[in-house]
Amino acid sequence: MCGIAGFVSLTGRPADPQRLVRMVETLKHRGPDDQGYFTQGPAAIGAARLSIIDVAGGHQPLSIDAGAITVAQNGEIYNYVELREELARAGTRTTTACDTEVIAHLYAAEGVAGFRRLRGMFAVAIWDASRQRLVLARDRVGKKPLYYIEHRGEWLFGSETKAILSALDEVPPVNPAALLSFFTFGYVAGGDAIFQGMHRLEPGTALVIDTRSGASTVERVWSWPDGSVKDTRTEADVIEELRAELTEAVRIRLRSDVPLGAFLSGGMDSAAVLALMTNQSSRPVQTFTIGFGDPLYDELDEARSTAAAFGADHHEQIVTPDAVRVADALAVHYDEPFADASAIPTYYVAELARRHVTVCLTGDGGDELFAGYAPYADALARVGAPVIAVLRSVIGAGARLVPVHARGKGRLSTIGLGPVGWFVWRRTVFPDYLLDAIAEPDVISAATLPEREAANQIRAASGPLLSRLQRWDQRHYLPDDILVKVDRATMAHSLEARCPLLDHRVIELAAAQPASRHGDAQATKRLFKKAIAPWVPADVLTRPKRGFGVPLRRWFQEGLIGWARDILIDPRTRQRGWTKSNEVARLLQQHEQGSRDHAKRIWALVCLELWARQHVDRSQSGARACA
């Protein structure tokens, strides 16, 4: 696990080594063990390394063939052992035991197509000296981040936006379309980053930049299955294969030269991962969970019970979070605005785990692959006869006539939503009617309203409704919220997180199943439960889903509202031109009076402002934002 950064000139200007050092310096939290720098002609690649595999010999960037190919990567290639053996049989000699060298030789032999052979999580930068081209590649589902920008005759890239900002003379303007996405969902979604002109490399793609011609191309090396291929085997046969693939996915993710453990909630995903780790480990697995002393949100008892069932070496902590401190810390590490409050417990559990281990396996991805979220079943339950759809349309039209702050406006609006509209609404922070009230017109006019666009995408897709909802989450909510949350929270503490349920073989198997095998309006995660039933205690399969929740509403009631108000009415906040200050004040007032619960919206506005102070204001003043 590392942070990578660099740049390449299209004009032939020699790379400035000190500029590269500044970029890598911003990523030392991602890789505190070692830093490496490579410059050759117009190219510069650097890495801050968290040593996991071949601790002594895995220095990056790594060059092969007398410097013809140089590679830096952030991530882990879990099948590097098998690939290295295959390379050896073909006559290739490796000089280290690390996975980065395998990437270099595979690229030398197969080019961009070689990325299809990798089984893992990665963001890779390759300088191909013989062809004078820079190649950037990202793993299939977007577990590891990679940003880039074309700017004044050069391309710059980095694991985080702060690395790129450190190399620019000025901070690019904030992208209003990305800001609109944040207001709607609480995170920036899609290929465009929060800064104008800056982009995220899409998962499953490689960007090739030819410095001689100046041409750039994006090559897709993997796509999420579209559901067109369906598995016709019996369910029993599928379950047998799923168990085998899950077992293998965990097995190869136990490869490490440093201590590893597991995040543990009370749910079935982390329990299944723990079961497989225990079965393949010679000593008790170290597990980690945290709570906030609130029985409505804590899963301490359930996690403790699961850990005991597997004889785990369990660590838990009840934290009384200093929300002011943690909000400032999150603003540093989440260098695009991010308002999913479950980042708070993820940050704390990563901090706890890092005191004991360097790597943790997680259960992330199970709900998206196997239809575990309650909104899936709830949306299916809203499917009705055509006359119901007409009635909802009439109610929705009436709701639009109700003043935005009138009591009952939100409830009436949701009654008027069909299955798709309701599902997307559940994902929003500011639904359209509130977004239009609070965001400035320049922000609103920047793009199609994201809530409306998401609903249109789901309606236009093919296949059963459940499959369409899952595919939207897999391409939107999973890479841009869940995986961002986990990456930044763990990297803040130099902890590597591995997600075996998101192994691409597990993904492809799950996607090939008929929707009815996963769930319906009455049941969720049907296939997955059957697969793991022999491995986990029976009560794990029947526990209500909670995950890492946060009592935001209570925190605001207990005094945080004053802190939030001070931030949101500050002249700096009001002068940014993103929100209408009178509407923000009304939101605060309604929440304090108890007439509306705006906790998640207030949190989002606070997160946005703290992010701006850290990454816009400080960068503009020359004090680079770095951890």
Distance CA 619, CA 523 (A): 49
Residue among 24, 53, 254, 262 at smallest CA distance from 125: 24
Q: Is 596 left (phi over 0), alpha (psi -120 to 50) or beta?
A: beta
Which tokens go with 338?
Answer: 């991010």
Distances (CA, A) of 587 to 399, 564, 571: 20, 11, 17
The DSSP annotation for 164-233 comes to: HHTTSSSPPPB-HHHHHHHHHHSB--SSB-SBTTEEEPPTTEEEEEETTT--EEEEE------S-S---S
Residue type, 102: V
Residue type, 354: R
Q: Which residues contact 285 (CB under 8 A, 6 or more apart)?
A: 261, 262, 274, 277, 278, 310, 312, 313
> For residue 558, how many other CB atoms are within 10 A of its CB?
10
Which tokens go with 561?
Answer: 């509202």
Q: Could you give phi then psi for residue 613, rounded to 5 degrees?
A: -65, -35
Q: Could you give phi then psi for residue 297, rounded to 5 degrees?
A: -120, -30
Q: Check: CB of residue 389 under 8 Å from CB of residue 300.
A: no
Residue 552: HSE in the Cβ half-sphere, 13 Å Cα cutoff = 21
Which tokens go with 151?
Answer: 């700017």
Residue with tokens 């990305």: 178
Which tokens go with 301?
Answer: 């008892």
Residue type, 356: H
Grouping H, G, I as helix, E, B as strand and the rest as coil, residue 590 is helix
Residue among 624, 486, 601 at smallest CA distance from 547: 486
Q: Specify burial of residue 597 (Cβ count, 10 A radius: 0-12, 13-18, 19+).
A: middle
**Pick the catalytic residue: 2, 360, 607, 626?**
2
DSSP state of 244: H
Which tokens go with 345?
Answer: 């417990």
- Concerning whether 98 is annotated as a catalytic residue, the answer is no
Helix (H) or strand (E) holding 468: helix 465-472
Distance CA 339, CA 611 (A): 10
Pairing verdict, β 216-220 and 147-151: unpaired
Catalogue the active-site residues. Answer: 2
